Structure 1
Amino acid sequence: MNADLQPLIEHLIELRSRVVRAAGLLLLVFLILFHWSGDIYHLLALPMLKVLPAGSSMIATDVTATFFVPLKITGMVAFLITLPHTLYQAWAFVAPGLYQHEKRLVIPLIISSVLLFAVGMAFAYFLVFPVVFGFMAAATPEGVAMMTDIDKYLSFVLGMFIAFGVTFETPVIVMVLVRMGLVSIAKLREIRPYVIVGAFVIAAVVTPPDVLSQIMLAVPLWLLYELGVVLSAWLIVPKPLASEEG
């Protein structure tokens, strides 16, 4: 074998091994949870079920939805449970090529990112969903039966989970930008008014058209940005900006 190709082959074998380990645990957790897929679906649907009028229920307009929707939700839960292990496998693959100071930065970054994403999802589930669904139920015109399709409900919920999960990553994103020297803390403070406006614009795009849910996304986004600025000034020693290096 060509000596130049051998390291590449070894890296590919290592990558395959890491992917197989991550996928294997994901499949194992999914199979374990499969028995409770109906209960998991009910837990996810609970915020909507609580606000439906008496005698109403969610519906399935697709023949296969009653089977595949709980299956998709179970797969999502299995993915979230195994996400730390998946990120560890990715970390183990790239770690040999990192410097020691980079290794010290990556591990806290991964842990904080996973925790913040989970907190964002919990914020959406426990605080935002009751407000949004309650508003939608109250806004239903008289004579109209509110019966949400379970597949569309799943798509909506996943979109909100992603929106709030990513929003809660804001402190990590800010700290990484400062640490990499891409932006200064002074610049972050200077653009604060634009960030506030941008937060409300983003909230208006990704949330339902009611003021409460938009505020419940925009305000945390702004406050988390401020938290990122504070933590960056306190904990991060930034690299010089490119303009300063010149």
Structure 2
Amino acid sequence: MSQEDIDASKAPLIEHLIELRQRLMWSIAAILVMFVICFYFATDIYNILTVPYLRAAPNPDTVQMIFTAPQEWFFTQLKLALFGALFLAFPVIASQIYMFVAPGLYKNERGAFLPFLVATPILFLIGACLVYFLVMPMAMGFFLSQEQVAGAGKVAIQHLAKVSEYLGLIMILIFAFGLVFQLPVVLTLLGRAGLVSSEGLKQKRKYAIVGAFAAAAILTPPDPISQIGLALPTLLLYEVSILSVRLVERQRAEREAAREAEDAAA
């Protein structure tokens, strides 16, 4: 390769790096703006997140939470603001990713990529709603059932939650369920790339069952409600993924048949 060819190849690379920097700056700016907004409303957001706790508590009016270090509530608000900022800024981040990769895709590839970009936050939101409305109230009901009322020969055992630990628990569950709900998107993309097949996924179903319960044991607190609550939707999503990959294969076969028919006619 001559020096002229090397110099010519540098120009597109520099242009891509400049565009990448611009996309990153827009994404970071969106996160910072949402971070400031979420930090301002951090207490209100935290109160919304405590609703599953209140629903599970036998006496919601007497529920208290504590922080045991002077800086604990402040850092909890920072975590909460970052958590909300990443979620709210995702549409901007996704659009920047799409605008960066779209020029390198064919027209039909752009149309195929866009639905997955739209489905990702929707599926994450469905997973978060499952945690908020079902799994978290059931898990907190299980935890609070361990309390004990004082009596003859018995001491009172009462749960007094820390603000940081409760936020950590519900954030872990939301992220775990949100990530697991991306399974159809990931497997369908792999199916479009020809890396997995519906028949192969069916044959590996027994491994998927073991993997789902293993992932639930790692990603969720050590209580049966949270673990089963994550494992069962994972298995359901795996079956949905098989159907989605099968649909992709059918569409690919139809395109190849149409192309062969055009070639034969020509």
TM-score computed with the length of structure 1 as normaliser: 0.88
- CA shift for structure 1 position 27: 2.0
Separation in 2, partners of 1:183, 1:97: 24
Structure 2 partner of 1:5? 10
Q: Aligned residue for 2:218?
A: 205
**Cα shift at 1:50:** 3.8
After superposition, the C-alpha distances for 1:59-80 in whole angstroms (9 at most, x for unaligned) are 1122112222123212211221
Deviations 1:184-238 (A, max 9, x none): 2111111212212221222223223332222211111101110111122124458
Match of 2:234 among 221, 224, 229: 221
Name the counterpart of 1:124. Answer: 131
User: Deviation of residue 9 (structure 1)?
Assistant: 2.3
2:113 counterpart (106, 111, 117): 106
CA contact (8 A) 2:35 2:85 kept: yes
Task: Say whether residues 1:156 and 2:164 are aligned partners.
Answer: no
Structure 2 portions without partners, runs of 5+: 1-6, 150-155, 254-266
- The size of the alignment, in residue pairs, is 239
Q: More displaced, 204-213 or 103-112?
A: 204-213
Partner of 1:244: none
The alpha carbon displacement at 1:102 in A equals 2.4
Q: Is structure 2 residue 199 aligned with structure 1 residue 186?
A: yes
**Conserved? CA contact 1:170–1:224, under 8 Å:** yes
Pair 236,60 (structure 1): closer, same or farther in 2 beyond 3 Å: farther
CA RMSD of aligned residues (A): 2.1
Per-residue CA distance 1:141-160 (angstroms, 9 max, x = gap): 45222111111222222211
Q: Is the 8 A contact 1:179 1:238 kept in 2?
A: no
**Residue in 1 that maps onto 2:86:** 79
* 1:70 corresponds to: 77
Aligned to 2:179: 166
Partners of 1:34 and 1:102 in 2: how far apart? 39
Deviation larger for 11-20 or 26-35: 26-35
User: SS where residue 140 of structure 1 aligns?
Assistant: coil
Where does residue 23 of structure 2 map in the other structure?
18
Say whether the 8 Å CA contact 2:192–2:248 is kept in structure 1.
no
Once the two structures are TM-superposed, the CA of residue 56 in structure 1 deviates from its matched residue by: 4.1
* CA 1:196–1:238: 2 relative to 1, 3 Å: farther
Amino acid at match of 2:176: A
Does the 8 Å contact 1:112/1:172 carry over to 2? yes
Residues 36 and 104 from structure 1, CA distance in 2 versus in 1: closer, same or farther, beyond 3 angstroms?
same
1:58-109 deviation digits (Å, cap 9, x = unpaired): 1112211222212321221122111011111011112212233322221111
Contact 2:216 2:227 in 1 (8 A): yes
Are the counterparts in 1 of residues 197 and 246 from structure 2 also a CA contact under 8 Å?
no
For residues 86 and 236 of structure 1, the distance between their equivalents in structure 2, rounded to whole angstroms, comes to 30
Structure 1 residues without counterparts, runs of 5 or longer? 241-246
Q: Counterpart in 2 of 1:37?
A: 42
**Native 8 Å contact 2:213 2:228 kept in 1:** yes
Q: State whether residues 40 and 70 of structure 1, in contact with CA within 8 Å, keep that contact through their aligned partners in structure 2.
A: no
Normalising to structure 2: TM-score of the pair?
0.82
Q: Which structure's CA Rg is the greater one?
A: 2
8 Å Cα contact 1:178/1:238 also seen in 2: no
In 2, Cα distance between equivalents of 1:135 and 1:238: 46
Partner of 1:243: none
* Whole-Å separation in 1 of the counterparts to 2:48 and 2:63: 17
